[in-house]
Amino acid sequence: MSNVNTFSGFYNIPAQLAANTSANVLVVPASGYAGLPSPVLIAGSGLTVSVGPDIVGGFYDVHPFKVKCYGKATTTGAASTIIPILYQVPGVDVGVISAAGSVTSAGVVGTGPTLIDTCATIGSSTVATVEFAYEWTLLYNKTAGSLGGAKTFAFTNFTGTSVYTAAAAISGGPITSGVLLADLNFELTFTFSAATSPNAVTVYEFSIDRV
């Protein structure tokens, strides 16, 4: 949950439907959330959490920070697995809906973001709700333009089975160069294995903490 170290985040985001097997980006809702859409985060663009301009260049240069995501996914009609993925989004792609932006017009990830970490596949039976909680501790080097880290907490609970995954380095590997301060933005995708309507994802917190 949020605390005094949380400086960027969204909470109790309206449910998003996913009746396909694509990597659906968690997008900015058109309504139902105070403050969104905004001039930067327009409706349908990737919902990003970002390191704010008031502190970049200082606290977060070679100092870890934590990206957090807590929520639930609901499947209907057929058994389905769910794969969450965390992406880093360049500043020029934040709020951009295009094939080369944060998200395409079809709602799937564009070519602009870089994959940071693919979470372990979550299994779900027919008409099931899966709770999930993920935390990534990341480290940015302003001089090198690099970004790396680890998934330090991963827990899922479904159909009476709870699964905890041990901490591990991010699966996408570190970005070794080219990351600017303005590029410390992050978005999520969720992929269902069965294209059954109305599969849905509800995110209750997507935020960044100082560590």
Residue-level pLDDT at 5: 59
* Residue 151 CB neighbour total at 10 angstroms: 24
* Gap between the Cα atoms of 119 and 191, Å rounded: 11
The whole-number pLDDT of residue 52 equals 67
Question: What length does the chain have?
Answer: 211
pLDDT score, position 174: 94
| Angstrom distance (rounded) from CA 47 to CA 94 | 8
Residue 127: what pLDDT?
66
Tell me the three state secondary structure of residue 49: strand
- Give the bridge partners for 139, in sequence order: 148
Which residue(s) pair with 128 in the sheet? 75
76 with 19: CB under 8 angstroms? Answer: no
Per-residue pLDDT of the chain (211 residues; tens, 9 = 90+): 555 555 679 999 999 988 888 899 999 999 999 999 999 999 999 999 998 655 445 567 888 999 999 999 988 777 888 899 999 999 999 999 999 999 999 999 999 999 999 998 887 666 678 899 999 999 999 899 999 999 999 998 876 678 888 899 999 999 999 999 899 999 999 999 888 877 899 999 999 988 8
Nearest to 79 by CA among 115, 15, 128: 128
Six-digit token string for 91: 């500043």
pLDDT of residue 210: 82
Q: How is the chain split into domains, by residue range?
A: 6-210
pTM: 0.92
Nearest-angstrom CA–CA distance, 167 and 96: 32
